[in-house]
Structure 1
Amino acid sequence: MDELLADQVGYYRRRASEYDVTAYGDVAAARERIARLVAQMRPSRRVLEIACGTGLWTEALVAVADTVVAIDAAPEAVAIARDRVRSGNVTFEIADVFSWTTDDRFDVIFFSAWLSHVPMSRFEQFWRMLRRLLAENGRVLFIDEHVNVREKETYVAGTEEIVERRLRDGGKFRIVKNFVDPQALQDRLRDMGWDCQIRRDGSDWIRGEARPAQHLG
């Protein structure tokens, strides 16, 4: 699994320069959708963004948060994000989320298109980490892809969460991809002590909000 996750980081490092166009197509339309979703989710105060990528979501977060700490394991993506988002209330860090540590606590932890890249074997570890990083009454907000669009990926034979991706230059990589089944995710998080609500956004995305169960208001 460590080797697979290293390949995943390598993939996003190599993809950074082409990510916006290949992930979103119409970047201007994506910005409008992102701004709408961020407004609906209402992140505020101290925000941690995990897997910030090229900063399109960071751009929207800094407009509504007091401070944003944005982390990503791909230096090439962080360089693009730093150039894009020049706000004084954001701090970028190059970091692997599975080993990153901080004494800070956050009112909101946000990630887009990241949860689906968390291996099932590290799912509980990841959510335990999120709980430790949340301030009292904090929330986890996330965007990801619905299981209904799973067919767009080519899964490696004999696996249920490893897909093969190619870059424009022909480079081939294997990464983790677990599309979100809203009910299954809500049930699993409930069993782990979280209250989670997931809504659809269009035919392809979901948006979710999770809180430690005792803080659901």
Structure 2
Amino acid sequence: MITDQLAKYYATIAQQYERVYDKPERQEDLEVLRDKVADVLEGHTVLELACGTGYWTEVVAESAESVLATDINDEMLALAQARGLPDNVTFAKLDAFNLPDDLLGKFTAVFAGFWWSHVKREDQDKYLKQLRNKLGKDILLVLIDNSYVDGSSTVIARTDLLGNTHQFRTTDAGERYEVLKNFPSDSHLRKKFAHSAREIRMKRLEYYWLLSCRLK
């Protein structure tokens, strides 16, 4: 389940969120990642989890048949809706950790950008099982997230007893939040998904990674 701390943090930083995409050193990777995301989701009916400001919704909508973009934060959804996205995009308020029971058979793919890193290591198997049960066998799952890069990524503040890493994030108003943010290796991802998915494909860039698979 999403923590109150995490939800409050993202609600607070909604207006400043996209600055993370302005870092000069990340532009080449972002161009590659945008192309990869659009390519892998071409023609799909997509459920997007934790859509945030709609930055990646816009990318997905370029090639997808349709996109239902969802987020738990009203602040994020308002920004996403204000982007003027095409008619194949609709929006809904949804907790990515607590999916409703009426989704089965409605989508051919699920996309989550920069979300897997917020799922606790000890909850990941259960989360994949929920996606499979709520969305159906063989659905395409596409994840993108951050690689940890010294000097560019926010420093890891601590690692808990279960191996989850945490960062301290400070808002423009000076508020400080502790945010769960994991940075899994390729081998860890492949091992984690091996029991729940097939056709696992990975693309590792310097600042980001992409994983696609079909849930068993």
- Partner residue of 1:206 out of 186, 192, 209: 209
- State the secondary structure of the residue aligned to 1:54: coil
Does structure 2 retain, via aligned residues, the 8 Å contact 1:107–1:136? no
Q: Hey, what's the Cα distance between the residues in 2 that align with 1:64 and 1:117?
A: 27
Q: Which stretches of structure 1, 4 residues or more, deviate above 4 A after TM superposition? A: 29-34, 147-151
Render the CA deviation track for 1:177-214: whole Å, top value 9, x for unaligned.
Answer: 1112111110121133544221112x11111111135x
- Partner residue of 2:186 out of 182, 185, 188: 182
Residue aligning to 2:111: 110
The change in CA–CA distance for 1:15 and 1:151 in structure 2 (over 3 A counts) is: closer
Q: How many residues align?
A: 208
Residue aligning to 2:21: 24
Which aligned pairs between 1:156-171 and structure 2 lie closer than 5 A? 156=158, 158=160, 160-171=164-175
Residue aligning to 1:96: 95
Unaligned stretches of 5+ in structure 2? none
Residue aligning to 2:49: 50
Code of the residue aligned with 2:189 in structure 1: it is L
Kindly state the Cα deviation for residue 25 of structure 1 after the two structures are TM-superposed.
1.3
Kindly state the Cα deviation for residue 44 of structure 1 after the two structures are TM-superposed.
2.6
Unaligned stretches of 5+ in structure 1? none
Residue aligning to 1:12: 10
Code of the residue aligned with 1:24 in structure 2: it is Y
- State the secondary structure of the residue aligned to 2:63: coil
Kindly state the Cα deviation for residue 45 of structure 1 after the two structures are TM-superposed.
2.5
The change in CA–CA distance for 1:26 and 1:153 in structure 2 (over 3 A counts) is: closer
Q: Which moved more, 1:148-157 or 1:172-181?
A: 148-157
Q: Which moved more, 1:103-112 or 1:158-167?
A: 158-167
Q: In the alignment, does 2:176 pair up with 1:172?
A: yes
Q: Hey, what's the Cα distance between the residues in 2 that align with 1:34 and 1:192?
A: 24
Does structure 2 retain, via aligned residues, the 8 Å contact 1:49–1:109? yes
Code of the residue aligned with 1:155 in structure 2: it is A
RMSD: 2.5
Does structure 2 retain, via aligned residues, the 8 Å contact 1:49–1:110? yes
Kindly state the Cα deviation for residue 169 of structure 1 after the two structures are TM-superposed.
1.3
Code of the residue aligned with 2:86 in structure 1: it is S
Residue aligning to 1:155: 157
